[in-house]
Structure 1
Amino acid sequence: MGAPWQAFAAAALAGVGGAVASPAQDALLARLAPRTRASAFAVRYAITNAGVTAGGLGEGYREVAGDRLFRRIWVLTVLLVLAGYTPLISVFPVYVTESAGLGPHVVSIAFVADALTVALAQLAALRLLRGCRRTSVIIAACGWWATASCLTLATGRLGTGLTIAACVLAAVMVGIGETMLSPALLPMINDLAPEPLSGRYNAATSLAFTVGFTLGPALAGLMLQHGLGAHLITGSIVMSGLAAILAHRLALRLPASANRMTQAPPATPQVSAL
């Protein structure tokens, strides 16, 4: 593969395949397990992520695992997924519909608001963040996510109109955090990785995302089953704080060349919560 268009074409084909297979798989699973759908989908999600994990592993990762600085970034990545991505996917819909008493249409509107925020604000974020320290950008993203979680907690105490507005605004805040994290975290890892090992560093980073996306919904399902939705959102705020602290400590050890947003950030795959 020698031209950028080939990479984009391959990514588009992979996306089309996933778009066709995923709804069919979910519909089949729903029909096969009508009375235990929650458990069935939770197991399906865990198995899918286990497959992604197995596909990303290979030989020669000893040097990657021996990089102490990268291990800090790996842990930070897991915390960021738990703080920002998985709450929107696995906690927000249940909390909004059950604790705040809103209909599923509000969740749909919030998801659209998050997706539009990422789509419309990403290029503007790239321009605004040029020259900033990447760790500072990550800390700011944690702040947006913590604020979104605080706003979600308040939804049950507001009137219906304000509750809907607060839910949509919280989703927008999550999207803003996503647009800040995308050009900061993954390019930092690629700037830090030795050229011969860049593929393995990226695969290990994908594993960190997988771990976060697996642990988050599993923990959310367990706590929501016992009516601990508010505690779970509070935990997301704590995770945001821990991630911000770790990013601050990382800034003290990270080379300046890997911690500065460049004028033209390298192209990296964007991770979206949706």
Structure 2
Amino acid sequence: MTGSEVPPSFRLVYVPGVMPDKWVRIWNERQPDVPLTLTQVPAGAAPEVLRDGDADAGLVRLPVDRTVFSAIPLYTEQTVVVVPRDHLVTAADEVAAEDLADDIVLHPLDDVLEWETLPGRPALERPATTADAVELVAAGIGVLVVPLSLARLHHRKDLTHRPLVDAPESRVALAWPEEATTDLVEDFIGIVRGRTVNSTRGRTQQPADKQPKRDRPQRAERDGARRQQAAGRSAGGGRRKGGGATPKNPRRGRPRRGS
């Protein structure tokens, strides 16, 4: 490698609530010579980071601009309402929007849910972040509706959550600039889609001597079988003429006549 060459690397951004650990671990196993740089960014900032070329791909929340980005939806999150542990709705296994009619429902500026109509009563001001909104819930000022992963991320012992039915849901996707689909991006796509290292659609292939036996040519096995058969004939001195036939004996097998 000359001094002007830059070693390859892969830069992945992810938004709060997303857990990329499994995919990163598989990447490190398959690409030990290509370090993966992992950076968390706010959900609203992820598209700009990708568009500016500061990351190769991102685990983001949909929607994204599909005229700029390619995206592979990965999963959809359950929506929950975060409340104090002594809130009335904790008596139920799940909550409907009308159950929050008398509550102040906080709507942080970094909310990732697309609401047509927010349930409950609005707060006088919108909290700047989801973390700020969680603090307000703990202070008894209102309740908060978020994807389940964000409720877990900001978990507090004095708060709990319940599923909220008929609410918008957040979808997580792998996204990257369409015009910057590199070989390394294709490798990461294969990982999140669960392709094996020997997948015909994956770019990374094992060397021939590391491939499973079922993928190797079978000619050597056939030749080995022929050699074993030849060795067996040589050990027995070869076939004798007529050796494979039953000796001719006209009386063999006939019943004896009574005396």
Report 1 or 2 for greater relative contact order, CA contacts < 8 Å, sequence distance ≥ 6. Answer: 1
Question: By percentage of residues, which structure has more strand?
Answer: 2
Q: TM-score, structure 2 length as denominator?
A: 0.24
Find the structure with the greater CA-based Rg: 2
